[in-house]
A and B are shown apart, each in its own frame.
Chain A
Amino acid sequence: AQTVTQSQPEMSVQEAETVTLSCTYDTSENNYYLFWYKQPPSRQMILVIRQEAYKQQNATENRFSVNFQKAAKSFSLKISDSQLGDTAMYFCAFIRSGAGSYQLTFGKGTKLSVIP
């Protein structure tokens, strides 16, 4: 079974600064996908970024980027130039590749507050 660990229950960052959210996972699989989701106070979960394990290049989406370290089983999210709208819960998630794979396994989340 896979597990996903987010070791920082809460974090805060000043507006315009950079913050990094940590995620580690445990799996014996070699092929899988990793995700970061954002859940603002409005509750809608939004996909922020997706990483395929076989790709060495780190995924980026505008101000969001990841540091994917496959050997260390680490998948951190960096938010640059933090904005007030980045205030949200952030969830890291894992899914193995392959037939019959449907279930995302989520971490417990990190609550990020962006301070004006």
Chain B
Amino acid sequence: DVKVTQSSRYLVKRTGEKVFLECVQDMDHENMFWYRQDPGLGLRLIYFSYDVKMKEKGDIPEGYSVSREKKERFSLILESASTNQTSMYLCASSLYGGLDGYTFGSGTRLTVV
């Protein structure tokens, strides 16, 4: 089975801190994604990457950046964390764009205080 592993399940950070959320997949998938999940808003795409070192903005990229130096790893960076970035963050990967659906990680619950 494909596995997508997010390094932290829960994270608490202070306002203004630089935050790194890490995601690793083990099945040689080309595409990786970062979504944010908030109650009543569903899942919203922050960034995705269709190849190593390639990245594209999603619907809500403001306040975030990403890094993909290796195929299996996709990092989400909050340059200066703010309280409105308190949320659940979901990483996903796929082989054929999204046509085969995504495989998701277990999520990171980030709280910014």
- B-binding residues in A (CB < 8 A): 9, 33, 35, 37, 42-47, 50, 91, 95, 97, 100-104, 106-109
Contacts and interface: CB of A to CB of B under 8 A. Distances in A.
Interface of B: 31, 33, 40-43, 45, 48, 50, 56, 58, 88, 90, 92, 94, 97-107
Nearest to A101: B97
Nearest to B97: A102
B90 A102 contact: no
B38 to A, nearest CB: 10
Nearest to B32: A102
Contacts of B103: 47
A47 B101 contact: yes
B99 A95 contact: yes
Contacts of B97: 95, 100-102
A97 B58 CA distance: 18
B99 A109 contact: no
Nearest to B105: A44
A26 to B, nearest CB: 15
Contacts of B107: 43-44
A109 B101 contact: no
Contacts of A35: 101
B88 A33 contact: no
B99 A91 contact: no
A106 B44 CA distance: 8
A34 to B, nearest CB: 10
Contact of A101 (B42, B99, B102): B99
Given A45-B92, A95-B99, 10 more contacts: A37-B104, A43-B106, A45-B90, A47-B101, A95-B97, A97-B99, A101-B98, A103-B45, A108-B42, A109-B42
Contacts of A50: 100-101
Nearest to B49: A102
